[in-house]
Amino acid sequence: MSNSRIPGKNFLFVPGPTNLPDRVVRAMAVPSEDHRSPIFPDLVKPLFPALKKVFKTETGAAFIFPASGTGGWEAAITNTLSPGDKVIAQRFGQFSHLWIDLCQRIGLDVIKQEREWGTGNDPELIEETLKADKNHEIKAVLATHNETATGVTSDIAAVRKAIDAAKHPALLFVDGVSSVGSLPFEMDAWGVDVIVSGSQKGFMLPAGLALLGVSEKALKAGETAQMRRAYFEFKDMLNANKQGYFPYTPALPLLYGLKESLSILFEEGLDQVYKRHHHLAEGVRAAVAAWGLKPCAKEPKWNSDTVTAIVVPEGFDAAKVIEIAYKRYNLALGAGLSEVAGKVFRIGHLGDLNELMVLGAVAGAEMAMLDVGIPVTAGSGVAAAQAVYRANPLLTV
């Protein structure tokens, strides 16, 4: 009935969708129910403060839309901006690229700033651009927190500082699809106006929920926003959510799943979740170094703790590594996209993972690389990662 191949488990190391904890699978296996019943709010109401705890916001509002992260981008923009509004967006990977593309389709005037792939947001350039915008025609700065295509994390606090240094009223919109729930994220402290996330990464759920945090300032901006919207209307959501309901039938199992995955995050503790992602990522990076290879991220400061894009040596096709990993060893790696297609393969290391799962994936990547002729030493990456993991194991009991 399922698509899964026998024997054994698939090693899912794309940077999302991530592995589902078995607690989440169970939590979602619920019967259908009346989403207008008197007890439905018992499920719904606690979800919003819990989400705000993950976004680290006290003053903002949390939203749950039945949509993918792409829908979340659309919701963010259509509820806060007007057709033809200017926004700044820096492009340094496939996902920052796609966000720009969506903005243009929806009708924004995007000031697209090209950055080398393997780097991230350049706050200085943003500051400079905003300073030059004397009439405040720029309404928002769009920043991709974690560029999933290249394995690059940007400093969002620095982007806010740049906006403030320019004394510019632009809103700060952040794509946190592959960061929230995995990497430290501070909506209020960093002055983020809209954070867009999705259920299928750090939240350890299937795709199907766009999860947003929206600041009071952004909600206020929405009062005059002229973009057309209906499905993604914030106001309808706020009104219904306040009572513990939704304006249309919600994706019920995902709400139960969200309740459980939030419990899991809080049981582990958000700080420990962040530490774990760093720990697992350090092992992968040690393996890459032991292989004599380089990550796509140009400098250590860009390293992402949720995904590592690994550059294969000249003359080799990264796509072939991915194909062999999947077909021979049941290991799903992420592909290189667009400008880095064929040049990198990606190991996602986010969500419900522990050391041995990562070591299995590292071992599998080694085998696939060897199979295509890339001269790495068998076991070398595993040994390097083991050293990292033994120094500071996740579990102690």
Instruction: Provide the 8-state DSSP code for 200.
Output: T
Residue from the set 117, 234, 256, 345 that interacts with a copy of itself by CB under 8 A? 256
Q: Does residue 82 interact with a copy of itself by CB under 8 A?
A: no
Q: How far apart are CA 255 and CA 247, in angstroms?
A: 15
Q: How far is the CB of 242 from a copy of itself (least distance, A)?
A: 19
Q: How far is the CB of 152 from a copy of itself (least distance, A)?
A: 20
Q: Would strands 109-114 and 307-311 be described as parallel, antiparallel, or unpaired?
A: unpaired
Structure tokens at 48: 């919003």
Name the one range near a copy of itself by CB under 8 A: 38-46, 111-119, 161-169, 301-309.
Answer: 38-46
Q: How far is the CB of 182 from a copy of itself (least distance, A)?
A: 11
Name the one range near a copy of itself by CB under 8 A: 111-119, 164-172, 180-188, 266-274.
Answer: 266-274
Name the one range near a copy of itself by CB under 8 A: 118-126, 205-213, 313-321, 339-347.
Answer: 205-213
- List the x/- string, 269-308, binding to a copy of itself by CB under 8 A: ----x--x--------------------------------
Q: How far apart are CA 224 and CA 79, in angstroms?
A: 9
Residues 6+ apart with CB under 8 A from 42: 244
Residue from the set 42, 58, 128, 216 that interacts with a copy of itself by CB under 8 A? 42
Alpha helix segments (H runs only) across 119-250: 123-132, 156-165, 216-222, 234-242
Q: Which is nearer to a copy of itself, 231 or 313 (CB)?
A: 231
Contacts with a copy of itself in 100-129 (CB under 8 A)? 101-102, 105-107
Chain-centroid distance of CA 73 in Å reads: 12
- Closest alpha carbon to 291 in 156, 385, 193: 385
Q: How far is the CB of 268 from a copy of itself (least distance, A)?
A: 5
Q: How far is the CB of 292 from a copy of itself (least distance, A)?
A: 15
Q: Does residue 30 interact with a copy of itself by CB under 8 A?
A: yes
Q: How far apart are CA 145 and CA 197, in angstroms?
A: 11
Q: How far apart are CA 391 and CA 77, in angstroms?
A: 45
- List the x/- string, 221-240, binding to a copy of itself by CB under 8 A: ------xxxxx-x-------
Q: Would strands 307-311 and 294-295 be described as parallel, antiparallel, or unpaired?
A: antiparallel
Q: How far is the CB of 197 from a copy of itself (least distance, A)?
A: 13
Residue from the set 46, 49, 83, 292 that interacts with a copy of itself by CB under 8 A? 83
Contacts with a copy of itself in 299-358 (CB under 8 A)? 323, 326-332, 335, 352-357
Q: Which is nearer to a copy of itself, 130 or 388 (CB)?
A: 388
- Closest alpha carbon to 20 in 209, 330, 271, 264: 264
Residue from the set 264, 289, 341, 372 that interacts with a copy of itself by CB under 8 A? 264
Q: Which is nearer to a copy of itself, 13 or 190 (CB)?
A: 13
Contacts with a copy of itself in 6-25 (CB under 8 A)? 6-12, 14, 16-23, 25
Size, binding site for a copy of itself by CB under 8 A: 120
Sheet holding 194-198, edge to edge: 61-66, 209-214, 194-198, 171-175, 138-144, 86-91, 109-114
Contacts with a copy of itself in 126-165 (CB under 8 A)? none
Alpha helix segments (H runs only) across the chain: 22-28, 40-44, 47-55, 69-78, 94-106, 123-132, 156-165, 216-222, 234-242, 252-268, 270-290, 318-329, 355-372, 380-391
Q: How far apart are CA 311 and CA 314, in angstroms?
A: 9
Residue from the set 60, 66, 151, 176 that interacts with a copy of itself by CB under 8 A? 66
CB-CB neighbours of 334 under 10 Å: 22
Q: How far is the CB of 161 from a copy of itself (least distance, A)?
A: 30
